[in-house]
């Protein structure tokens, strides 16, 4: 999710991305109702982006990551996808969505 800020000048209106909010591990866990240890596993499994898979410090999450966490939880709890195959299924679902969006743009 990208947020924008409109800046009005005398000649034109400029659109600039606003600062993206960042959430700590605990804040992300609270906002998504997912335990911090589960979020750490998602990070280790590469489900939430390469930037969160390495390092010893707790990861930082943005709105896009919170959206992905909710999608992952939907796959686990509503669709019954086991943790062992979750990375593969999530990446396939994400790729299908990307390809659908690309196809939609090509049809315009």
Query: Which letter does DSSP use for residue 23 in this model?
Result: B
**pLDDT of 11 above 60:** no
pLDDT tens column, 56-106: 578 899 999 999 999 999 999 999 999 999 999 999 999 999 999 999 999
Half-sphere exposure of 80 (CA within 13 A, CB side): 0
The domain spans of the chain are: 23-107
- DSSP H or E stretch at residue 4: strand 4-8
**Sign (positive/negative) of CA torsion 43, 46, 52, 56?**
positive
- CATH class of residue range 23-107: mainly alpha
């Amino acid at each position: 999710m990208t947020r924008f800020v409109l800046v009005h000048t005398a000649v034109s209106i400029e659109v600039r991305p606003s600062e993206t909010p960042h959430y700590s591990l605990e804040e992300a866990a609270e906002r998504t109702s997912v335990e911090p240890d589960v979020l750490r596993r998602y990070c280790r499994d590469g489900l939430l982006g390469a930037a969160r898979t390495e390092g010893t410090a707790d990861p930082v999450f943005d709105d896009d990551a919170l959206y992905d966490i909710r999608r992952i939880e939907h796959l686990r709890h509503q669709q019954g996808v086991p943790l062992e195959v979750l990375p593969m299924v999530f990446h396939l679902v994400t790729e299908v969505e990307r390809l659908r969006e690309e196809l939609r743009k090509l049809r315009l």
